[in-house]
Amino acid sequence: MTGTVLDGQIDVALIRTDGHDILEFGPAGAVPYPDHLRSRLAASVEAAATWNFDGPEPAIATQVEQDVTLAQSDAVMAFVSSHGHSMDDITAIGFHGQTILHRAPAEGITGRTRQLGDGHLMAAQTGCPVIFDFRSADMALGGQGAPLCPVYHAALLTAQDIGPEVAVLNLGGIGNITWRDSDGHIIGFDTGPANAPIDDWIRRHGAGAMDHGGQIASRGTVDEDLLGRALDHPYFKAAYPKSLDRMDFPESLADGLSMEDGAAFLTAFAAAAVARAVASLPGTIERLVVCGGGRHNQALMSAIETRAAVGVTNADELGWRGDSLEAECFAFLAARRLAELPASFPSTTGVPQPHVAGRIAMP
């Protein structure tokens, strides 16, 4: 799994599951992309934003797709071998690919999404069945194509008998939230910007790849008037289910601010978006279990706690693996595809009926 935050890491996780329950957690880890591929991925995202599904796809996308697939195939095989297994031990690989563009549906317009990743090439490289292209069919049916993790979040909540007073918040490049009521009904949607604009802002100022621990934001002051205007965006008034592209809320929203104040503003914006999401849920939420890279940002975690008026718990405190949870999710979704179990629902992506996600590529 590689997320929209473009952190240059390939997250890999091994789980044993029947698609209903998580039977065993195997090893998990992260493998860095080669340096040259990181910059080409960033260039692909920029080219995709200009393309916007209008006309021929940028040539760089096809070129980088092969590189991404080979790099992730190598990462999987090396990971499996390093933990004493062979590829013959693996039933299937869930291969999300790298999202370079996501356009949610609008009135009268079907949404579209593009993930770089050739499942057939990965199957040939690894000798293992690969489940890939999890989102496009959902969108062709009228759904948002995202988020897809709610069904896995719900399985984790069920395994620990956690009730509807708790929701799961994933803070990746963008945020998404999952809530499950007492009858097992799942609601999920993207909350708004999360790490992506913060990281892009920090990189733009030459201060590293991210705001480690939220230290830079902590030195800044939030422009509450600017924040109020940002929250006037129609997305925050739209009903769920709903989804976003990482560039829908770019770091340029903070233009004109100092590095510290810009980081503080973008951090507060992410937190305020979560607060809006929590307030829109039908249940009374007392606590958020937070996974994804954003849980390491203490300024962001504190801002969420304050602005959403809920407790926040690092997913690791529950024994979950917050850094590899999305990789686990797509392994889980691969198992659901093989078992013909749905991954998306009217209440998570807006698809008209529960949908079995993913295509199967055989070696």
Helix (H, G, I), strand (E, B) or coil at 311: strand
DSSP three-state, residue 238: coil
User: Domains of the chain by range and CATH?
Assistant: 9-144+357-361 (3.30.420.40), 150-318 (3.30.420.40)
Q: Any long-range contacts for 234-237 (C-beta under 8 Å, 24+ apart)?
A: 235/192, 236/192, 236/273, 236/276
Per-residue pLDDT tens, the chain, 363 aa: give them. 676 666 678 999 999 999 999 999 999 999 988 888 988 998 999 999 999 999 999 999 999 999 999 999 999 999 999 999 999 999 999 999 999 999 999 989 999 999 999 999 999 999 999 999 999 999 999 999 999 999 999 999 999 999 999 999 999 999 999 999 999 999 999 999 999 999 999 999 999 999 999 999 999 999 999 999 999 999 999 999 999 999 999 999 999 999 999 999 999 999 999 999 999 999 899 999 999 999 999 999 999 999 999 999 999 999 999 999 999 999 999 999 999 999 999 999 999 999 999 999 999
Q: How far is CA 78 from CA 25, 84, 103, 155, in A?
A: 18, 10, 34, 28
Q: Pick from 4, 70, 76, 1: which is nearest to 36 by CA?
A: 70
Sign (positive or negative) of CA dihedral 334, 340, 341, 344: positive
In DSSP notation, 125-177 reads: HHTS-EEE--SHHHHHTT------THHHHHHHHHHTT--TTEEEEEESSEEEE
Looking up tokens 């990743």 gives: 117
Give the position of tokens 């233009």: 255
pTM for this entry: 0.94
Question: Maximum distance among all alpha carbons in the chain?
Answer: 58
